[in-house]
Structure 1
Amino acid sequence: MGPVRELQLWVLPNNGYDTVPTMREHLAPFRREHPGLGLGIWVRTEESMWRHLFRLLKNPRQKPRPDLVQIPSHWTGTFARLGLLQELGALDPALDLSRWPAALRDHCRAGEGGNVYSLPWWIGVRVLYYRKDALRRAGVDPVSDLGDWEGLRGACRRLAAKWKSSTGRTHPVANPNPRESISLRDVAPCVWGRGGDFFASDGSRSLLQREASFRGVVDYFDLVRNGWMPLKGPSGLAPRDLFDGSAAMQISGRLPRGLPGRAVARRAAERAREELGAVPYPNAGGRTLLTSQNLAIPADSQLPRESFALLRELAFGVSGASYAAAIGALPSTERGTDEALQGYPALERAFRNSLDRARMLPSIGSFGTLEKVFDRTMDRLVQEVVGGRCDERSMREELIHAGAEIDYILSLSGDGA
């Protein structure tokens, strides 16, 4: 007899086209321990995940409905406030967040000291990767030339003149954005490095109109305005990156993915790794971005106990740590992160330096919505770049408009009041 119950797990494309098989492989122990429980795995982009979760609110009868969802940690407050998420303390009164670093805990709750609605799964902290062979050919010294944004600009100029990737691309820097666009998370370290920010410290208003914030956005856009970083082409295929030989540098929050099992592919991957180096995010010692991918249970799940068992397996169990290693993510606990970094001695120093100066996005209840407003602005500016019309005046105007919309949302939401 087949399973009579099936959990629906919705995840983001954590491992590209291999997301589902990788997920199934690492959940094999859980499935053996729960033989009467089926498991359906759905992969959503961030955009479609956001839309589908809102559709669940609008239509209680919509199918399929998830039992466990992966969300960026800063969405927790938004969806908890809307009543979409299950309060996890009701499923485990002894639930304790102390196993995770303090920086991650606020994003598990809805409001300071409030109930827990999500748990960390894996984290990322941004560094600048480079290929040693490409930098050597262009005469770029990663230590002296990649310490700040001006140094990165100079490296891009030299690489653009002298380097071509193994796939024929001439963009020195791969675009870390999965849509090959630009988002709030992409520009955040540049904004912070300039001494700017997105919101006032009490979360009551936007700071996008401030000169330091504006300059940080301009810094990042220089990469695409000068043709050093690609924007999405017409093919619709997955973006190419430094790890497949398509760029000399890449900003990334992950470690290299696990080595392939096949001997030939494994040797090729090992050779590629030997050419990898990393430096801290090049914003002259400013703050960099720490992100967390969390797991949450929808409030209307028909299998809340089983869903929580799966959540625990991923957030606490061996499956979670091995899955993080397979996709190149950092485990969410300090011990897990330490163990993961020890396996990459050539990269460890850059990651530890970045972790020491990393910060999360602000814990604002409406942040998920505010991020969408900002990212729409970035998308409009990207289209201006593609059309050859983007200049500092248009960028400033767009940020002023975005700031006004954000202020209006904050005034309605009560954040910072």
Structure 2
Amino acid sequence: MRKGYGYMNRKISLGAAITLIIVTIASTFSITMVIAMRNFDYNLTQVSKRQEMFEYITLVDKDVRQNYLGEINENKLRESLARGYIEGIDDPYAAYLTADEYRKETERLSGKWTGLGLEVVKMDDDSIVISSVHKNSAADKAGLQKGDVLTQLDGKDVKSYTLSQIMSKLGSAQKVKLTVNRGKDSTAFEISVSSYNLTSVESRMIGATGYIRITAFYGNTPNQFRDAYTKLESQGVENYIFDIRYNKGGNLKSVRDVISYLIPRGTYARLSKANSFEELVSTGAYEITKPSVTLVNKSTQGEAELFAGVMQEFKKTVVVGEKTLGRGMVQQYYSLAAEGAAIKISVASLSLTGGGILEGVGVTPSVPSIMPAALENQFAFLNEKNDPQLIAAISTIKGGAISTTTTTDSTTTTSAATKVPSTTETTK
């Protein structure tokens, strides 16, 4: 009886298993067919729309070529068509880039640049002052310094130029002659463009506080950040200030690497695409356990907002300053191989694990601090003695508003969805 009972049990189980397999196959086939039909209908619709677009452009092209009195510049026409198409999709962040623009943008996002290596600002007394000299650039090697007052540009008094004309000339010229005042001395310089690595991380000690300013998130930013952080740790810092004011973002992979250095392992954000999503997960390479403040302002955007939002959500920092700009869309570059040009379009939106949306919303500071308008153009020359927002950050730390945090690992699995390529992601 026992054998018979066991045998019958096996027969029933086998039959049920076969039935289950058949049902599963049928269900899978049905679901697959539904999805396939939907995709087919969608693709068919897209083909139809594309055909209508081609026919429309062909009609315009035919009428113009048959009747236009002038001569058509084919290269300019192709470029104009591409620009017009991108403008027509109503993506505020989309753009068409010429081959030269694309090359420069790719170079910049990687952390490299070719130029003179200096930035200027117009002060309240209308003087033009050098606000930044890029490390290892031609300007740096020539001896120009932050704070030098520009008096002549290519033999002309700078008063004969507008600020935009000066900035345009410094940004496009291959060689320039400059005369600057430094104290009572007047010195002439002649500099030519050169290639150099961009420095996007600056650090120093303010008392027992480690101050780290991140000006952008380039391909080389993570290594610069780790070097700065490690150096400050060796000096016995008690807490940190991360200054990302005026940081316009840059490379998404870069900020992901920096975030992974500061928060525990686990999911911290999501990339939502048209038909899929990707969870952004920290590798937990390191975790900050000391108190920190993150300084933001209305010009903090993109990847910098992700940094502030994640650090705030994980309770690793207290955000001080102004509400950020609110640019949480991710763009992808697509090269047009034949011309060397490229298009940039929005392909995903960023949101935090807690549901926080960046696009159009931004990050709201826990401790508000407004920069007076009169000081905004002097930002490069402010410090812990006269920068009201930095003073507020130091006060927040000294006031004990931040406690030391240690978070246990919260490992989560990542989605198998298709990832957005990381080498050219930007929310610029």
**TM-score category by the smaller chain?**
under 0.3
Q: TM-score, normalised by structure 1?
A: 0.23
Q: TM-score, normalised by structure 2?
A: 0.22
Higher-helix-fraction structure: 1
Higher-strand-fraction structure: 2
Structure with greater contact order relative to length (CA < 8 Å, sep ≥ 6)? 1
Higher-Rg member (1/2): 2
